[in-house]
Structure 1
Amino acid sequence: MSQDFKSIIKNYKEDQETVYNSWFVNNDERLKAFRSIRRGVFDVIQDIKTSKFGNDFKGSSLEFVLNCITEQKQVFKGASHPFYWKPKLRIPDIYENEENKLAFGQFLEKCINATKEEHILKEIILLDKKKIKGLGPAVASILYFLHPTIIPPFNTAIVNGFNTLFRDNIKLGSWTEYLRMREIIIEKNNEFKPYLSNDLGAFAGLLFDIGEKKLLVSDDHISEEERTKIEKKLKKRHKEVISEIEEEDLHTEMQYHIMTIGNSIGYDVIAASNDRSKCHNGQSLSFISLGKFPEIDVDKDTYKTITLIDAVWFEKGTNKIACAFEVEKSTSIYSGILRLTDLHFSFKENPPTLYLIIPDNREKEVLLQLQRPSIKNSEIKIHYILFSELKDNCDAICKFGDDKEILKKISKLAS
């Protein structure tokens, strides 16, 4: 290297006018912004859920979030521009298109609740797949304030700085390009973390200053071998995410059907605590679910287990559980049975009706599990419903059902 990367970082940190010193360190307002923006994102999600979001950027909760971000003038001075509603171009198409608006709200909800890198990257890939006009990687500047150690911000100056530093040709407006850029940023930040920070704002600031030509560099700091390796890694991850979609969507679809039925015939319904942000055909489970699992009289560990049951029906306005449902896919069927039996033994005097919702091709496996001595010889009764039966009969049950007994028409018991 004609110019050592460490020396670039050294110049960046020693110059008192760079982003590092004027924004990243010793700045209480920057730290407060994280809290304000996070609260603001929750407001955006809630406004979309309750149809209060409106059809323009101006005056919306999203404008508040972007105003908080653009107040961080250094790196984010133009962060709000991509979100201005441009009526002639119909972009970004999240104001007048209700389906896209819901998709955006659900994307934010999933990302703000995510705890792992792979979950966030998966949601980015899925959002990109929807091809919402005008909704590109400018969103990363919002995500940065939710997950600063995982998602670097994205704007023209950062891209220009990246292309200069790494002699690349990253394009604006492409999530695929953003993810490729992010991989290289992560690789290099990990390599030089002792000189920078876990918070990717430090690295983004470096790129910003290079892009604004506050720092001058003249070298390529990534080898062709590294670049090829990163490309392969990205392709593999993308393929894995896409391959999971069909199975996950089927699981969520079954949850959606059973919750829709419960709502239609007069029950309060709730999805598992880790599933409420999932959606089927643009409809989020959280939009038809109770906001919080009701308090029930069980010990803490049992309560936590019960809140992970895929779907639960409560008698309207009470904390009395009427039915509980486990939707199975590639996970062990027995683990679902265990959650249902935990629920049964917690309410032996008045047990809920228990159901497994299963793929048609796993019926024999389910029967084997339900014939285990610990199940067969007990008083526990677990019904099962095939995916095809639930899907084909959902609308009819919603229309003609009166109470939970209607499910007996499409369910079976192990003999």
Structure 2
Amino acid sequence: MAHKELDKLIGAYIEDRESVYHTWFMNNEDRLKAFRTIRKGLKKVISEIEAGSFGNDFKGSSLETVVTAISEQKQVFEGAAHPFFWKPKLRIPDIYENRVNQLAFGRFLNACLHAKNEKQVFDEIVKLDQLKIKGLGPAVANIIYFLHPTLFPPFNTAIVRGFNTLFHKKLKLGSWIAYLEMREDILATNQQSGLSKDLGAFAGLLFEIGSSRLILPENAEAVLAAENEKRLKVVKKRHHQVLDDQIEEKTHSEMQYHLARLGRALGYHVWIAQNDHKREYNGKKLGEYSLPALPLSGLSKSVFDTVSLIDVLWLNQNDEIVSGFEVEKSTSIYSGILRLYDLSLSVNQTCRLFLVAPDKREKEIKAQLMRPSFVKEQSLKSVMSYLLFSDLQCDCDAMCKFGTDISILDPISKSV
């Protein structure tokens, strides 16, 4: 494709406010959380594989934690978990029963996690491909992307379809060789595209082409004839998703607002997640209800960065964390639990942890907290509870008026 035509296509991609460029790639808040969750989760996968405690199924495994954090990243990664589901009849992917393959996969992930350059990752991909582990194809590239976003693009059916349309090729899904060939063309083209060095932006462009939301001149007639009805459904669905996201963002800010004013009414110092200070509710920025800086010392930078992104913290007069709250929206309840678990491991004193979620997700919360990986964490179970949006909305004024400390939450908090 000529440079001028590519510029025009990218312009249409960026101008579309409902493209994944805006709904996912530019959504830095959720993206940054995903990168941290995935890196941390991979370390657990690797350690469990090496220790022989990984298990023989995807469900409930540490790998599910990682892939769930990927698949919740909006449209581009929908379905990212499917290739990792254990399919017993087909015996794929063959990393749950075959110990040799499992170890090879763990060492591959470890090498990619610690790789310093693209050659090291490239070499590991070639070695993994040579092992011919059944069912373990380039879907793994979605994990690699979150480790090296400027070097390796994500990979799925829509992205490959968009790539083939844009570059006039016929690469097939499921081949590491095809993935590496696709990667080379993406890297070369992205350098002249004007898009971010993060290949997620260009992959999003390919995804939109492959999903028939962006139509190219050379395939317009064929695509419009075969895909017009499907495209309209995708556009309508995306429109509703964007509207739902806007409603969720407003509700998220509302819950932070209620928690902030309740904490202050109880005499606590309140911290609102660093990246939410500029959000507004009731005409005021949430940062106005928060400490200007988080007064925690003795923490490493990575731990401090993680703790500073917890949605709401209450601190006592000695600047010790009394409680942490994670407000869940469409993101995974599982990820929220992990962030609170990280908080519990990061501070020395005991603090109470609360998930704050919509009423309709109560069953999901109960199911998530009953996962084997959490059931065995007795220290987490003893301090983890959840609050429902409706209870916080209805009872906040009364709790502000009559409460004296965190125990005022006991009547509305629930645990499993």
TM-score (norm 2): 0.51
Deviation, structure 1 residue 87: 0.4
Amino acid at match of 1:126: K
- Does residue 1:207 correspond to 2:227, yes or no? no
- CA deviation map 1:110-162 (0-9, x unaligned): 01000011000000001000000000000000000000001100000100110
- CA deviation map 1:203-239 (0-9, x unaligned): 000000110011111359xxxxxxxxxxxxxxxxxxx
Q: Is contact 2:94-2:133 (8 Å) kept?
A: yes
Q: Is contact 1:69-1:79 (8 Å) kept?
A: yes
Q: 1:54 to 1:17 in 2, by over 3 A?
A: same
Deviation, structure 1 residue 178: 0.4
Deviation, structure 1 residue 35: 0.4
- CA deviation map 1:232-282 (0-9, x unaligned): xxxxxxxxxxxxxxxxxxxxxxxxxxxxxxxxxxxxxxxxxxxxxxxxxxx
The two structures, once aligned, show a CA RMSD in angstroms of 1.3
- 1:324-403 to 2 correspondences below 5 Å: none
Map of 2:48 onto structure 1: 47
- CA deviation map 1:328-358 (0-9, x unaligned): xxxxxxxxxxxxxxxxxxxxxxxxxxxxxxx
- Does residue 1:217 correspond to 2:216, yes or no? yes
Question: Secondary structure at 2:217's aligned position in 1?
Answer: coil
Amino acid at match of 1:166: F
Partner Cα distance (2:177, 2:204) in 1? 22
Partner Cα distance (1:62, 1:202) in 2? 25
Structure 1 unaligned blocks of 5 or more: 221-415
Map of 2:66 onto structure 1: 65
Map of 1:83 onto structure 2: 84
Q: Is contact 1:166-1:219 (8 Å) kept?
A: no
Partner Cα distance (1:26, 1:142) in 2? 19
- CA deviation map 1:273-301 (0-9, x unaligned): xxxxxxxxxxxxxxxxxxxxxxxxxxxxx
- Does residue 1:136 correspond to 2:131, yes or no? no
Partner Cα distance (1:170, 1:80) in 2? 22
Aligned residue pairs total 218
Map of 1:99 onto structure 2: 100
Question: Secondary structure at 1:102's aligned position in 2?
Answer: helix
- CA deviation map 1:62-106 (0-9, x unaligned): 000011001102200010000000000000000000000000000
- Does residue 1:191 correspond to 2:220, yes or no? no
Q: Is contact 1:165-1:219 (8 Å) kept?
A: no
Q: Is contact 2:23-2:74 (8 Å) kept?
A: no
Map of 2:157 onto structure 1: 156
Amino acid at match of 1:173: G
Q: Is contact 1:165-1:218 (8 Å) kept?
A: no
Amino acid at match of 2:25: F
Partner Cα distance (2:24, 2:145) in 1? 15
Question: Secondary structure at 1:4's aligned position in 2?
Answer: helix
My pick for the range that moved more, 85-94 or 18-27, is 18-27
Partner Cα distance (1:147, 1:112) in 2? 9
- Does residue 1:113 correspond to 2:127, yes or no? no
Amino acid at match of 2:43: F
Instruction: List, as ranges, runs of 4+ consecutive aligned residues in structure 1 with deviation greater than 2 Å.
Output: none
Larger radius of gyration: 1
Partner Cα distance (2:165, 2:152) in 1? 21
Identity fraction in percent:
61
Partner Cα distance (2:43, 2:62) in 1? 9
